[in-house]
Every structure is written in structure tokens, then in C-alpha cells.
Amino acid sequence: MPSRFTRSTCSSCSGSCASADARPTHSGNKDRRTTMNIDRAVLAFAGMMVLASVALVYFVSPWWLLLTAFVGLNLLQSSVTGFCPAAMVFRKLGLPGGCAFK
């Protein structure tokens, strides 16, 4: 008896996507490019700041954990209010809006 979830093959994932009706879960277009938008830029910037603060904690001082706390609180605050200073900077730099920061 065939399984309800079957593996499908497509050119962009080498057959690793699975769906209920044996169709690829994405377009399969190899030439598609993912553009950087404000949402991705904010997440990338926050991730870089957290990694930088971890390195600073290890090599300089444990007080750099305050930077990690600040980044985390800012992410939490922006998820509730929709206001993010980094998103405003990225918008002025010309990045297109995403789903969260339009």
C-alpha cells in the first residue's frame, strides 16, 4: 500500500522535499534569487550582534552580555510594537520592505 507522504523529485532540492500529493513544495527554479529585504536584514544584523557579543564576553569581559540582552529585548519589543530602529536604518539604505517591516 503506498504511503500518503511520498518523496518527490525536483531540480532544486535533489528530491528532498516531501508532500502529500507527490509534488515539490517549491517552484524548482534554479535561477531564482532571494533578495535581501528589511526583515532578513534585521534578523541578520541581530544574529551578528549576538555572535559579536559572545566573542566579546569570551575575550574581553562578561559585561558584554548586556549587549546580548539589549538585542534580545529590542527583538521582543519590535515583535510587539512593530517599531525597530534597525529597520528604519535599513529602509533609509534602500532595502525593500518585508512582511514584518513594511
Q: What is the 3-state secondary structure (H, E, C) of 69-81?
A: HHHHHHHHHHHHH
Cβ-contact 35, 96 below 8 angstroms: yes
CA–CA distance, 83 with 62 (Å, rounded to integer)? 29
Q: Name the phi and psi angles at 11, rounded to 5.
A: -75, -25
Q: Work out the pLDDT band at 8, boundaries 50, 70, 90.
A: very low
Residue located via cell numbers 546580548: 68
Residue bearing the bigger pLDDT, 33 or 14: 33
How high is the pLDDT of residue 32?
53
**Average model confidence (pLDDT) for the chain?**
79
Q: Work out the pLDDT band at 52, boundaries 50, 70, 90.
A: very high
